[in-house]
Amino acid sequence: MMIAVVTGATSGMGRETAIQLCEQFKGIDAVWAIGRRADRLEELKRSIGVPVRAFALDLTGEEGRQVLKNALDAEKPKVKFLVNAAGFGKIGLAENLPVTQQAGMAELNCAALAAVTALVLPFMPDNSRIIQYASSAAFLPQPGFAVYAASKAFVLSYSRALNRELKGRRICVTAVCPGPVKTEFFDIAQTTGEIPLYKQLVMAKPDRVVKKALRDSVAGRELSIYGWTMKAFCLLTKLLPHRLILDLMERIEYAPKGSRWD
């Protein structure tokens, strides 16, 4: 049985990726969809034309990961696609955000992603694909979004290293680094702060970001960046000192409203 494993499948990029995978790749027999909300996973089943096995799990805990491991060991599927889309962010200064939220970002965005990848890899045949959802925030430290940006820098670095490690098996690892995307992500992020205006102006549609991510993955690219604005931002972070860019961002009120980084 050839399957796709998708984390964060209850909403946003994960849900959209699961849907597009099944539309574009007819060789997928089933999707193993992982998320915290069981009702959303049931809704996903009605949106996909192949069987969906729902795993209502919290991947930040060992118990949830063990459930996935047991299922893999029992079924021994061939995982053609692994999509790690689970993650969240909170806007706000590090001194103000609750410790549980800051630790939770690191646990889900970094530790859970690495753990799921390690669990699934033994079941991936040669010439498979791994899609890791990072962010353009990975390119530059972001005061007011510090833990989230740092967690996505981890995803980018980890994915690029893993891509080299798996080269001999022709398993391509693609780090997807979009800018702001119009999903529920920012509804959650804004419960503790406000998105800067310029981010609201460059928000992309999730279906377009996912379409490019899948195309880049199949083409064997290690990086997928949607839109010329984010490509320009990526180039800028390579050409200019980060301190200078951060000074410029501060001047256009990147920091949460009513606060300063210094």
- At 4 the three-state DSSP class reads strand
30-34, 107-111, 154-158, 225-229, range with the lowest pLDDT: 225-229
Number of Cα atoms under 13 Å in the Cβ half of residue 130: 35
Name beta bridge partners: 189.
none
CA distance 18 to 196: 30
Q: Residue 207 pLDDT > 60, yes or no?
A: yes
Res. 261: pLDDT tops 70: no
pLDDT score for 196? 56
Q: Which domains does the chain have, with CATH numbers?
A: 2-251 (3.40.50.720)
The candidate with the shortest Cα–Cα distance to 40, out of 2, 76, 86, is: 86
Query: Of 54, 46, 56, 57, nearest to 19 (Cα)?
Result: 46
Q: Which two tokens stand for residue 49?
A: 């034309």
Q: Model pTM?
A: 0.88
Q: Are strands 30-35 and 172-176 parallel, antiparallel or unpaired?
A: unpaired
CB contact set of 3 (below 8 Å; sequence gap of 6+): 28, 29, 30, 31, 32, 77, 78, 79, 80
E strand segments, the chain: 2-7, 30-35, 52-56, 78-84, 129-133, 172-176, 223-224
Q: Report the share of the chain in percent with pLDDT over 70.
A: 88
What tens digit of pLDDT does each residue of 222-260 get?
999 999 999 999 999 999 999 999 988 777 654 444 333
